[in-house]
C-alpha cells in the first residue's frame, strides 16, 4: 500500500479506475451510469481532483486503489471515492486495507469524518465492508444522485 505520487503510479491508478468504469458500465443497474458522468475528465485530472490516491500492489502488479478528496461545505470532512480491487486480487483483504489506509490518511489530515456514496445493488461486497468498518447511513451530502444511491459516514472522533 502506498500513496500514488509519480506518473507511473498515476497511470496504474488510471488503469484500475478504467476497470472500475468497465464494471459499472456492465452493471444491470441503470443508476450505475450516474457514477460515470465526467469520468474521462476525472481520469485526466486525477492530481487536481483528489487530495490523495492510494494504490495497492501485489508482487509489483497494480491490484487496487481508492481516492480521497476534501469536501467543500462540510468542515473537517473528506470523501472516499473509487474504491476498487481488481478481480484477480479479491479475497486478499485489500479492500479493507485500502479503507484502513484511507482512514489513516484522513486522520493525519485532521479530518473528523469520511463520507462516501454507493449503489448497494451494484457493489454489495463493498457495502458489507463499509458496515463492518463502522460506516453508518446518513442523509445525502450532495444532490448528484439517483434514488438508488446510499450515503455513509465514518466519524473519526
Annotate 58-80 with DSSP letters as a single string. ETTEEEEEEEEEEPTTSTTEEEE
Alpha-carbon gap, residue 104 to 108, rounded angstroms = 6
Angle at 2 between CA 63 and CA 14, to 5 degrees: 50
| Contact between residue 125 and residue 144 where contact means Cβ atoms under 8 Å apart | no
100's grid cell: 484502513
User: pTM of this prediction?
Assistant: 0.90
Alpha-carbon gap, residue 9 to 14, rounded angstroms = 9
Beta-bridge partner residues of 55: 2, 65
21's grid cell: 468504469
Other CB atoms closer than 10 Å to residue 153's CB: what's the count? 20
pLDDT of residue 17: 92
Per-residue pLDDT of the chain (157 residues; tens, 9 = 90+): 999 999 999 999 999 999 988 887 776 655 455 556 677 788 888 888 999 999 999 999 999 999 999 998 889 999 999 999 999 999 999 999 999 999 999 999 999 999 998 887 888 888 899 999 999 999 888 776 566 788 999 999 8
C-alpha distance across the termini of the chain, in Å: 24
Tell me which residue of 97, 79, 91, 85 sits closest to 133, measured CA to CA: 97
Alpha-carbon gap, residue 42 to 58, rounded angstroms = 25
Amino acid at each position: 500500500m502506498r500513496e500514488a505520487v509519480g506518473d507511473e503510479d498515476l497511470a496504474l491508478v488510471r488503469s484500475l479506475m478504467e476497470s472500475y468504469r468497465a464494471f459499472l458500465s456492465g452493471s444491470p443497474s441503470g443508476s450505475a451510469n450516474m457514477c460515470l458522468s465526467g469520468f474521462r475528465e476525472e481520469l485526466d485530472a486525477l492530481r487536481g481532483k483528489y487530495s490523495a490516491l492510494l494504490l495497492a500492489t501485489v508482487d509489483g502488479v497494480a491490484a487496487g486503489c481508492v481516492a480521497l478528496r476534501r469536501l467543500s461545505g462540510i468542515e473537517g470532512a473528506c470523501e472516499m471515492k473509487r474504491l476498487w480491487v481488481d478481480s484477480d486480487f479479491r479475497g486478499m483483504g485489500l479492500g479493507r486495507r485500502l479503507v484502513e489506509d484511507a482512514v489513516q490518511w484522513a486522520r493525519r489530515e485532521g479530518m473528523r469524518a469520511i463520507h462516501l456514496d454507493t449503489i448497494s445493488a451494484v457493489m454489495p461486497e463493498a457495502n458489507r465492508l463499509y458496515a463492518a468498518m463502522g460506516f453508518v447511513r446518513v442523509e445525502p451530502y450532495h444532490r448528484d444522485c439517483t434514488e438508488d444511491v446510499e450515503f455513509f459516514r465514518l466519524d473519526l472522533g
